[in-house]
Amino acid sequence: MGNAVEVENLSKKYHIGERGRERMVREAIVKYFKSLFQRGRNEAIWALRDVSFSIRQGEVLGIVGRNGAGKSTLLKILSRITYPTSGTIKVNGRVASLLEVGTGFHEELTGRENIYLNGSILGMRRREIESRMDQIVAFSGVEQFLETPIKRYSSGMRLRLGFAVAAHLDADVMLVDEVLAVGDAEFQKKCLSAMDNLSESGRTVLFVSHNMEAVENLCERAIWIDDGIVRQDGPAREIIQNYLSTFAGAGENRYDLAVLDRKVGNGDVRFTGIAFLEPDGTEKTLIRCGDPLVVRLHFEAKQCIRSPHFAFELFTEFGTKVTSLNTWASGFEIPLIPRGRGHVDLEIPSLNIVDGRYYISLWAASAGNLWYDRLDHCAYLDVTASDFYHSGRAMTSQHYGLVLLPCTWKAGAMCDDMAHCQEGDFFPDSHRRFAV
Amino acid sequence: MRAEVLREFWDYRELFFFLVWKDVKVRYKQTLLGASWAVIQPFFTMVVFTLFFGKLANMPSDGIPYPIFSYSALVPWTYFSGALSLAGNSLVNNTNLLTKVYFPRVAIPASAVMCGLVDFLIAFTVLLAMMVYYGMPLRWDLLLWPVLVLPLMFLALGLGMVLAALNVRYRDIKHAIPFAVQMLLFLTPIIYPTSIVPERFRSLAALNPLVGIIEAFRATVVPSRHIDWQLLGMSVAVSFCVFVIGLLYFRSAERQFADVI
């Protein structure tokens, strides 16, 4: 079989200041006159540089990389939403891109109307939408509310409706961005199995995700994009391992943060590292739920900074923010940090979260909302299950939610002596039932 | 290359249909008065104009009742000004479509221009009712309205595409649109008949393609007048030129939309 997608020497340049800002004619005129008198600075960043790869027909390819590495840009170029600065793309067959669930949904329209609208925006023909309407509705699970405007839907219902449409797209090449990063675990499973069906039906899928488990399960091959270039291309498992190994600088409990690219922050204070320690200051090798933990944030200040604030935020693998621990919220004031290297310690007496991998985001800012530095998902924290309630049972994420709250149970009326109960008080097989 | 572009437009015709359908649907949902908005706007403008210009200023009205005189021009004008504003803001109002999915970008301003046609049709039937009320003869010429609206669409779309593309880059364009629309209202014979424009300015005024088109609309209701085909022809030609220029500019700018917006 031939190649479904061929990408050759793809590059994309952005001019700084081109994005994310509303500009006015007035500014353009001022800029023009300024440019007459001084040589304009032409700052550009390359979001992608000389990216080449191909995808065979029916292959499921995963794209991994840090935030800002160029994954989304690549996906947008392949979807023809934006154009490359140079290079060529050849795609054989019909392309559908899923960069978002429910693109174009309109609040005032009903569920059914939005299925038509969203379906046609994603490239479905009206006949296709009509013939798949029943399946779409069944998949979404919002049958009863089909004639209700979606402004009355919960966010979960909207998501299910959007994904139901997407799951019934019929294209030769599917470009899928992190759409699974939202929603509850059950819904994510449904989405993953829908995606699995996609790949089994012989469609070519390009899948971008931060969820390494999903990439490993779905993709046989992966490409690791780093700083706009293809760092590695090969079997998914191997690529993911190599990619994840860069998160840990020396060992799993120390990270070198100085090397990461920043999108936000003026750089007056920059995080250089993070370390997980025991309360006595020694390195922590195993982090279990309920353990005390000291997080040491190393930073470097370009100059003397007055009352900076620091934050340590935890996210689940699915992107849910678990907590944001910061000096501002805690009312902790640091009057001044001197120029040069320094650190702050965050002491968590008991890490009350279930086992699993948590991503860490950090920020440093002034009291006046000026960002010094911000790093999203720059490191991770692996928490191991433990006997948190000292019951002899391990509290695992499968059954115990996300947070373990310290608690005690008390019963209102309790027979501690069998003598108070009579034979007939028991169901005949009550013991057996509990034994199961 | 050109054939490819046309084929692509054809491939995306259903999406275009759904975009128009959405705009029309949303327009009449969640509004207290629903479809009557289509009539309220030109009708009450006509009432105000009749009061101030017809009664107080004694504006000549080509020998027909001033309400009919102004309303017959206000219906196409309301369509045009609405279509122009909607199209001019259409890209900015659909940012999420631009940044999340591909389709020929022209579909966005084009669907904005189509959406007002429903209003136009409703307002037109009110015109017929008004003419019956004033005892005016309904001439066959009135059947030309659906044809005359075509150059108006092309003109609105041509200007709308330029404004929409500029709006993506410079956000103060959206403040300029209502101002430009207001200026055009006075540069077009809506309140006044062309007959009060001094002869030497008329050829200059004819450069405004709205003059010929609006005059043609009005000529279909005035019993004593016939469409000035020469003037209309010129206006149609200018409208079409504006459309072509607008389309070319839009196509050259659209590669940047997703990056700049």
pLDDT in tens, B139-154: 888 999 999 999 999 9
Query: Which of A110-119, A247-256, B71-80 is least confident?
Result: A247-256
Q: How far apart are CA A93 and CA A79, in angstroms?
A: 13
Closest alpha carbon to B173 in B80, B89, B70, B84: B89
Output the pTM of the full model: 0.71
Q: How far apart are CA A256 and CA A215, in angstroms?
A: 25
In chain A, what residues touch B115 (CB-CB under 8 Å)? none
DSSP helix/strand/coil, A65: coil
Widest CA span in chain B? 58
In chain A, what residues touch B17 (CB-CB under 8 Å)? 120
Domain map (residue ranges) of chain A: 3-244, 254-383
Q: How far apart are CA A100 and CA A96, in angstroms?
A: 12
Is A183 a residue whose pLDDT tops 70?
Answer: no
Tell whether A18 is within 8 A of chain B (Cβ).
yes
Tell whether B260 is within 8 A of chain A (Cβ).
yes
| The CATH fold of domain A254-383 | Coagulation Factor XIII; Chain A, domain 1 (2.70.50)
Comparing A397 with A373, the larger pLDDT belongs to: A373
Query: What digits encode the pLDDT tens for the residues A248-295?
Result: 433 344 566 777 777 778 888 999 888 888 888 887 777 888 889 999
Instruction: For the beta carbon of residue A321, count every other beta carbon within 10 angstroms.
Output: 11
Tell me, what's the pLDDT at A426? 54
In chain B, what residues touch A26 (CB-CB under 8 Å)? 172
Contact B156, B80 (CB under 8 A): yes
A223 strand-pairing partners: A63, A233
Minimum-distance CB partner of A25 among B172, B255, B260:
B172
Tell me, what's the pLDDT at A285? 72
Tell how far CA A178 is from the center of its chain.
7
Tell me, what's the pLDDT at A253? 47
Tell whether A341 is within 8 A of chain B (Cβ).
no
E strands within A16-153?
44-56, 60-64, 86-91, 95-98
Structure-block tokens of residue A316: 């689940």
Is A432 a residue whose pLDDT tops 60?
Answer: no
Binned at pLDDT 50, 70 and 90, residue B27 comes out as: confident
Phi, psi of A8 (to 5 degrees): -130, 125
Tell whether A127 is within 8 A of chain B (Cβ).
no
Residue B171, classified by CB atoms within 10 Å of its CB into exposed (0-12), middle (13-18) or buried (19+), is middle
Contact A42, A53 (CB under 8 A): no
List, as ranges, residues 101-130 from B with C-beta within 8 Å of A.
Answer: 101-103
A3-244: CATH class: alpha beta
Query: Which of A40-49, A311-320, B241-250 is least confident?
Result: A40-49
Binned at pLDDT 50, 70 and 90, residue A154 comes out as: confident
Which residue is closest to B102 within chain A, CA to CA? A81
Which residue is closest to B101 within chain A, CA to CA? A81
List, as ranges, residues 104-123 from A with C-beta within 8 Å of B.
Answer: 104, 106, 108-109, 113, 116-117, 120-123
Q: How far apart are CA B53 and CA B189, in angstroms?
A: 13
Mean pLDDT, chain A, whole residue set: 81
In chain B, what residues touch A18 (CB-CB under 8 Å)? 259-260
How many domains does chain B divide into?
1
Minimum-distance CB partner of A121 among B15, B29, B255:
B15
Residue B127, domain extent: 2-260
Residue of B4, B14, B26 best to disrupt the A interface, most CBs of A under 10 A? B14
In chain A, what residues touch B102 (CB-CB under 8 Å)? 79-81, 97
Q: How far apart are CA B236 and CA A434, in angstroms?
A: 86
Query: What digits encode the pLDDT tens for the residues B45-70?
Result: 999 999 998 888 888 888 889 999 99
A270-273's contacts with Cβ under 8 Å and 24+ in sequence apart are A270/A299, A270/A300, A270/A302, A270/A364, A270/A372, A270/A373, A271/A297, A271/A298, A271/A299, A271/A362, A271/A364, A271/A373, A271/A375, A271/A378, A272/A298, A272/A299, A272/A300, A272/A341, A273/A249, A273/A297, A273/A298
Angstrom distances, CA of residue A60 to CA of A172, A386, B69, B236: 12, 37, 66, 53
Residue of A14, A108, A127, A178 best to disrupt the B interface, most CBs of B under 10 A? A108
Instruction: For the beta carbon of residue A309, count every other beta carbon within 10 angstroms.
Output: 20
Percent of all residues in chain B with a pLDDT value above 70, rounded to a whole number: 97
